Chains A and B, each alone.
Chain A
């Protein structure tokens, strides 16, 4: 590929100062491998359109779909328009914005392993450099199963479609979707493949949880407010609970889920990201590596599971027949493409420890599951009780621990529970809640996680993406547990769909004299 040397570093556009759209990336060509898939239609193109709607995409931003079906550019545009009509955050679709956005939508038909298709793609990219001012800047979004990653990566390299500013070229970035491997070994293999074609800083591993406003607010709450840091440690915090609950089952993903399970699908990535953000030390700066260094330290400090016949501190479950939100729900083993004798976990609960100075012996109770009573992600910090029960002789005073709770989704917000005196002549207390809700205070709907993450990739900021060592450290910690469960011939503990998991999950926390918070 012939690419002109990049211009000398330019200052930011001064006309952007003070505008809501203060950061607009340089125009690039974003190639979506797997453009005929669900992710592209439900999330990626609607997110890109919404960015265009909000004025956050540069003129000339180009999107090229790459997939097996035979589409023309026009047919691809029509299909993507339907996606935006259904799924874009900013609806109805604005005709003028769409018209301009669609001018930058193109399609290249090809198999992921077809060399000729990459030659066609490269030609299209070079055409766009001339007509749309993309300047050789490339982003490859691999919305494909991980087994295609080595092939795509190798052919991009072979066709010299990857350049690096440090070697005098324009940027190339690659976005990879989870799962980032199946275990430590496969994750290392994937990462090895990635770095044969790309440098680590060119790789953006997307975990859409990190694009959520409330997840980002965890860092703001902890590090932009002075009041929390003094008691954010083992001296004041009794324990932490994190729940990631889904009301849906595996739907049409039975085949995929059979090879994964909830621990690989949710805990290895989303849930451990939340654990890291809650327990990390303050980074030296809000910069990609500074933040990720601190997150990795947390993962390294996770106490190893003692595995044996019975795995200590971890339980797995699988949903059986039941009902969710008033609707009948069939057992996991009866779902499409699921082995009728499957031992795959659709629920997991664990008691884990971050073995470091700040968190020594503070248990983190985490759980994730499908077919639970409702869709909710909730983090709660449970504080130690007041040191001395001043009203111990007053029966109407029942002092309850303070709880600071973060609702990640839905109805995003933060609440603090504390005891208050009930008005009246006698001393009676009742727990009250101080609440902050995004919808109440800020009204506007927050951007979709993919909007934020796509924009960050275009801007080259990888703070909200998982780094190689994060992924590998998480797998290294989970592998012994997963191996043990894999080798265990017994089925997981069953729970009726629509309940909060198996009884063993309650026992896990109740044996410590605590209870799961009802999120």
Chain B
């Protein structure tokens, strides 16, 4: 939970499932009677529904969204659903309050619903009723991806404008394909926290091609090499950041990726290579990228962990001043904030997902 500027609001109170809205209204009314009304503002730009399947995930989601609500005020609904658990449903309310200066604070509401056994089917309609009207809805799915054809999942996702997942936990290319299908077959836009992690690499790479003389070189890319960190266990999710990066380049410069993962540009084949280096921290994260051109020149982007930046250089027949991109925070709450601050559908990700599914063949072979 966020900084405890208003303990009476922030402590979790168990409430009757059938009277959550009424209990929330009472919470604010009692606060007003306490004389704090002028100093306190309720705000919401999003409805965020976090779907969890364990108590640890539930606690973690509450912490992350509590922090995130300082930057993006939201009505947070945390669902802990356990089909194998005892048939029961219970709910709690609290508020996440953050000071905004001048002795004022902004509060966002948090509702927790815990359901087990056959009672889990009561959750989607309950969540639906608790959504603030006219505000967009994001469902953050924590844990294994759902079976998209289950009635429970369908009804939970029905009001969602956005489905947020973290592909670092994906098991196979089928998970990427599922995300792609969500985009194609529903009105819910997929969003991936791993894609947000990649933003600094995209910005650093883009900076190489900002100078007019470099922009013309996008068509002469012949080689893309992506190096990432790998753990001893080596699982598919570790490779996805690299995969999304490579797919992004290919999508934006019109390379064609066939069903076998072979890549062609208008002037011939392009070599996409993925390298994984064992390391104990930042598993899955990209550490180095090289882009080779027709004339032998090479652009490289490297993470300088000590200085907290990514540096981009070009060597060979051409040169450009070094470009420095600040590495962004990779904390989960800040990734969520960056995701929610995007107000429109991420069309680039939609282009990238099907390509990543095909390019994944180069990794899983």
Query: In the bound complex, what is the Cα–Cα distance between A152 and B244 (angstroms)?
Result: 51
Query: In the bound complex, what is the Cα–Cα distance between A118 and B268 (angstroms)?
Result: 50
Query: In the bound complex, what is the Cα–Cα distance between A294 and B66 (angstroms)?
Result: 45
Question: Contact string, A1-22, partner B, CB cutoff 8 A, digits 1/0?
Answer: 0000001001101111111110
- Nearest residue, chain A, Cβ from B71: A443
A7 touches B308 (CB 8 A): no
B172-209: which have CB < 8 Å to A? 199, 202-203, 205-209
Query: In the bound complex, what is the Cα–Cα distance between A435 and B38 (angstroms)?
Result: 12
A94 touches B322 (CB 8 A): no
Tell me, yes or no, whether A426 is within 8 Å of chain B by CB: no
Interface segment among B100-108, B111-119, B142-150, B162-170: the answer is B100-108
A108-137: which have CB < 8 Å to B? 131-133, 135
Tell me, yes or no, whether A411 is within 8 Å of chain B by CB: yes
A19 touches B309 (CB 8 A): no
A133 touches B326 (CB 8 A): no
* Contact with A59, one of B202, B211, B213, B347 (Cβ below 8 angstroms): B211
Query: In the bound complex, what is the Cα–Cα distance between A17 and B351 (angstroms)?
Result: 12
Tell me, yes or no, whether A55 is within 8 Å of chain B by CB: yes
Given A26-B212, A441-B73: A14 in contact with B207 (beta carbons within 8 A): no
Task: With a 10 A CB-CB cut-off, give which of B202, B307, B321, B349 has the most chain A CB atoms.
Answer: B321
Contacts of A437 in B (CB 8 A): 41, 100
Tell me, yes or no, whether A96 is within 8 Å of chain B by CB: yes
A10 touches B100 (CB 8 A): no
* Contact with A94, one of B41, B320, B326 (Cβ below 8 angstroms): B326
Chain B interface: which size bin? 35 or more
Rounded to whole Å, the gap between the CB of A373 and the closest CB of chain B is: 17
Question: Contact string, B202-230, partner A, CB cutoff 8 A, digits 1/0?
Answer: 11011111111101101000000000000
Contacts of B43 in A (CB 8 A): 440-441
Rounded to whole Å, the gap between the CB of A9 and the closest CB of chain B is: 9
Tell me, yes or no, whether A338 is within 8 Å of chain B by CB: no
Tell me, yes or no, whether B325 is within 8 Å of chain A by CB: yes
B210 touches A97 (CB 8 A): no
Tell me, yes or no, whether B298 is within 8 Å of chain A by CB: no
B347 touches A96 (CB 8 A): no
Rounded to whole Å, the gap between the CB of B299 and the closest CB of chain A is: 11
A135 touches B212 (CB 8 A): yes
Task: With a 10 A CB-CB cut-off, give which of B71, B211, B308, B347 has the most chain A CB atoms.
Answer: B211
Tell me, yes or no, whether A100 is within 8 Å of chain B by CB: yes
- Nearest residue, chain A, Cβ from B42: A440
A439 touches B100 (CB 8 A): yes
B203 touches A55 (CB 8 A): yes
Contacts of A11 in B (CB 8 A): 215
B106 touches A7 (CB 8 A): no
Tell me, yes or no, whether A352 is within 8 Å of chain B by CB: no
B321 touches A440 (CB 8 A): no
Rounded to whole Å, the gap between the CB of A54 and the closest CB of chain B is: 8
Given A15-B206, A55-B325: A10 in contact with B70 (beta carbons within 8 A): no
B72 touches A10 (CB 8 A): no
B320 touches A15 (CB 8 A): no
Tell me, yes or no, whether A27 is within 8 Å of chain B by CB: yes
* Contact with A18, one of B71, B207, B324, B346 (Cβ below 8 angstroms): B346
Total A-B pairs in contact (CB under 8 Å)?
A: 116
* Contact with A24, one of B210, B249, B253, B324 (Cβ below 8 angstroms): B210
Task: With a 10 A CB-CB cut-off, give which of B43, B72, B249, B312 has the most chain A CB atoms.
Answer: B43
Contacts of A411 in B (CB 8 A): 102
Tell me, yes or no, whether B4 is within 8 Å of chain A by CB: no
Task: With a 10 A CB-CB cut-off, give which of A20, A53, A135 has the most chain B CB atoms.
Answer: A20
B100 touches A58 (CB 8 A): no
Contacts of B100 in A (CB 8 A): 437, 439-440, 443
Contacts of A26 in B (CB 8 A): 210-212
Query: In the bound complex, what is the Cα–Cα distance between A156 and B191 (angstroms)?
Result: 52
* Contact with B215, one of A13, A133, A443 (Cβ below 8 angstroms): A13
Contacts of B249 in A (CB 8 A): 15
Query: In the bound complex, what is the Cα–Cα distance between A60 and B106 (angstroms)?
Result: 41
A103 touches B321 (CB 8 A): yes
Question: Contact string, A441-452, partner B, CB cutoff 8 A, digits 1/0?
Answer: 101100000000
Query: In the bound complex, what is the Cα–Cα distance between A100 and B311 (angstroms)?
Result: 10
Given A7-B216, A94-B326, A96-B308: A27 in contact with B253 (beta carbons within 8 A): no
A65-102: which have CB < 8 Å to B? 94-97, 99-100
Classify the secondary structure of A's interface with B: loop
Contacts of A104 in B (CB 8 A): 321
Rounded to whole Å, the gap between the CB of A57 and the closest CB of chain B is: 10
Tell me, yes or no, whether B84 is within 8 Å of chain A by CB: no
- Nearest residue, chain B, Cβ from A439: B100
Contacts of B253 in A (CB 8 A): 14-15
Contacts of B73 in A (CB 8 A): 440-441, 443
B321 touches A60 (CB 8 A): yes
Given A14-B252, A59-B321, A439-B101: A96 in contact with B211 (beta carbons within 8 A): no
Tell me, yes or no, whether B304 is within 8 Å of chain A by CB: yes
B210 touches A13 (CB 8 A): yes
Contacts of A10 in B (CB 8 A): 212, 215-216
Query: In the bound complex, what is the Cα–Cα distance between A240 and B209 (angstroms)?
Result: 49
A7 touches B213 (CB 8 A): yes
Query: In the bound complex, what is the Cα–Cα distance between A18 and B344 (angstroms)?
Result: 10
Tell me, yes or no, whether B348 is within 8 Å of chain A by CB: yes
Query: In the bound complex, what is the Cα–Cα distance between A160 and B205 (angstroms)?
Result: 36
Query: In the bound complex, what is the Cα–Cα distance between A95 and B306 (angstroms)?
Result: 11
Question: Contact string, B279-292, partner A, CB cutoff 8 A, digits 1/0?
Answer: 00000000000000
Contacts of B203 in A (CB 8 A): 19-21, 55
Contacts of B320 in A (CB 8 A): 59-60, 133
- Nearest residue, chain A, Cβ from B249: A15
Contacts of B302 in A (CB 8 A): none
Question: Contact string, A239-259, partner B, CB cutoff 8 A, digits 1/0?
Answer: 000000000000000000000
Rounded to whole Å, the gap between the CB of A411 and the closest CB of chain B is: 7
B101 touches A96 (CB 8 A): no
Task: With a 10 A CB-CB cut-off, give which of B199, B212, B308 has the most chain A CB atoms.
Answer: B212
B321 touches A96 (CB 8 A): no
A94 touches B308 (CB 8 A): yes
A18 touches B348 (CB 8 A): yes
Contacts of B208 in A (CB 8 A): 59
Given A53-B326, A59-B207, A439-B101: A96 in contact with B346 (beta carbons within 8 A): no
Contacts of A27 in B (CB 8 A): 210-211, 321
Contacts of A441 in B (CB 8 A): 43, 45, 73
Rounded to whole Å, the gap between the CB of A438 and the closest CB of chain B is: 10
- Additional 16 contacts, C-beta under 8 A, given A59-B207, A133-B211, A443-B72: A14-B218, A14-B252, A15-B205, A19-B203, A20-B203, A27-B211, A55-B207, A58-B207, A59-B320, A60-B320, A97-B309, A97-B324, A100-B324, A133-B320, A439-B100, A443-B100
Identify 23 residue pairs between A and B in the complex whose beta-carbon atoms are under 8 Å apart, listed by A's number.
Answer: A10-B216, A13-B206, A14-B252, A14-B253, A17-B348, A18-B346, A20-B203, A26-B212, A55-B326, A59-B211, A59-B320, A59-B321, A59-B324, A60-B211, A94-B308, A95-B307, A96-B324, A99-B324, A103-B321, A133-B320, A133-B321, A135-B212, A440-B41
Nearest 3 CB-CB pairings of A with B: A59-B323, A18-B348, A15-B206
